[in-house]
Amino acid sequence: MKLSLNKSFVSLLACVIPSHAITLLQVLQSYSELTTLSSYVNASSNATALLANANNFTFLASSNAAIASFLSKNPNVLTADLLQATLEYSLLRGGYPTLSFSDTPQFVASNLVNSSYANVTGGQTVELLQSSGGAETLSGNKTISTSSSADIVCTGGIIHIIDTVPSIPVSAVSEITAANLEYFVSILNVGGYLNPANAYVNQILEVPDVTYFIPNSAAALANVTEQVKNTSAAELQSTFEYHVVPGFVGYSTLLTNGMQLKTAEGGNLTVTVQGGEMYINAAKVVASDYIVANGVVHVIDK
């Protein structure tokens, strides 16, 4: 009796699960909100292969409205290359159902590893956050994508339909402009850091896996303006390098009280968490977690 029950249970599974299991590509083809994405994917053998072979994933599927809005703001840029990179960035490693989002941010790796777009070991990340607006995904320049239909289960993973196409994070130097860090732009200018002779600046902006602490305040600008009057080029280089931590992508969730971070200059920075604020040495972190092509940028006040 027991054996025959087990047998029929097994045969029930064998017949029910496969007929009900739906693949990622089938979900794209069956949701009316995803017809645009589905036609793009179907037209590209690389995109089809990426999604057909995915396993253990969370896929952020841009809705028809998301793609229409993206195309209206960025005409003529959705080339096959950008489509492929955006799909890689939308395909997160691991399962993240809505219930796993919380008000503590999580930085989750995607399948975007192509060095034309990202130099972050393990794949460029997105930030997952549960806020008053719902389950949010933050991408380049803190672009927020909200899930309209979430937790669609398919073979090997989970799909969230999102209302905004994720932005692939740009280089640190482009993000300085995008985020309007105007005091820092002036600091780069008065410090002579934009001079092509100071090639170390470009090198630092391109190496993989970097954390940048970017001073962006009137006081910091005044300080540098005063300092350049009696500071050598070598000292200015050291100052710049003291704001850069190579070999470590320090999202805010990884920075803990008392942590020492070894800078490109050689000296350490000390992280202090006090009264809900984070300090890097004596400088207060005023904005955190701008994801950039090769790491992360935090903005400080000194």
Ligand X SMILES: *[C@@H]1O[C@H](CO)[C@@H](O)[C@H](O)[C@H]1NC(C)=O
Residues that bind ligand X (CB under 6 A): 29, 39, 42, 46, 56, 80-81, 84-85, 93-94, 114-119, 141, 171, 178-179, 206, 219-220, 223, 226-227, 229-230, 260, 262, 268, 282, 293-294, 302
Angle, helix 45-52 to helix 35-42, in steps of 10 degrees: 110
Least Å from the CB of residue 149 to ligand X: 19
Evaluate whether 110 touches 90 at the Cβ level (below 8 Å): yes
Considering the complex, state which of residue 150 and residue 228 has its C-beta at the smaller distance from ligand X.
228
Least Å from the CB of residue 189 to ligand X: 16
Considering the complex, state which of residue 6 and residue 235 has its C-beta at the smaller distance from ligand X.
235
Q: Which amino acid is at 153?
A: V
CA pair distance 91, 55, nearest whole angstrom = 10
Contacts of 120 (CB under 8 A, 6+ apart): 109, 208, 209, 249, 293, 294, 295
Considering the complex, state which of residue 8 and residue 30 has its C-beta at the smaller distance from ligand X.
30
Tokens read off for 288: 């955190």
> Which residue in 245, 169, 262, 254 sits closest to 207, CA to CA?
245
Considering the complex, state which of residue 11 and residue 202 has its C-beta at the smaller distance from ligand X.
202
Least Å from the CB of residue 237 to ligand X: 14
Least Å from the CB of residue 54 to ligand X: 11
Least Å from the CB of residue 134 to ligand X: 18
Tokens read off for 82: 């950008």
Considering the complex, state which of residue 15 and residue 213 has its C-beta at the smaller distance from ligand X.
213
Least Å from the CB of residue 117 to ligand X: 5
Q: Which amino acid is at 170?
A: V
57-62 and 91-93 strand pairing: antiparallel
> Which residue in 157, 134, 165 sits closest to 147, CA to CA?
134
Least Å from the CB of residue 5 to ligand X: 29
Report the chain's C-alpha Rg in angstroms: 23
Considering the complex, state which of residue 8 and residue 97 has its C-beta at the smaller distance from ligand X.
97
Query: Hey, how many other C-beta atoms are within 10 angstroms of the C-beta on 74?
Result: 12
Least Å from the CB of residue 223 to ligand X: 4
Considering the complex, state which of residue 165 and residue 220 has its C-beta at the smaller distance from ligand X.
220
Backbone angles phi, psi at 158, to 5 degrees: -130, 145
Considering the complex, state which of residue 178 and residue 190 has its C-beta at the smaller distance from ligand X.
178
CA pair distance 279, 277, nearest whole angstrom = 7
244-246 and 260-262 strand pairing: unpaired
CA pair distance 135, 129, nearest whole angstrom = 6
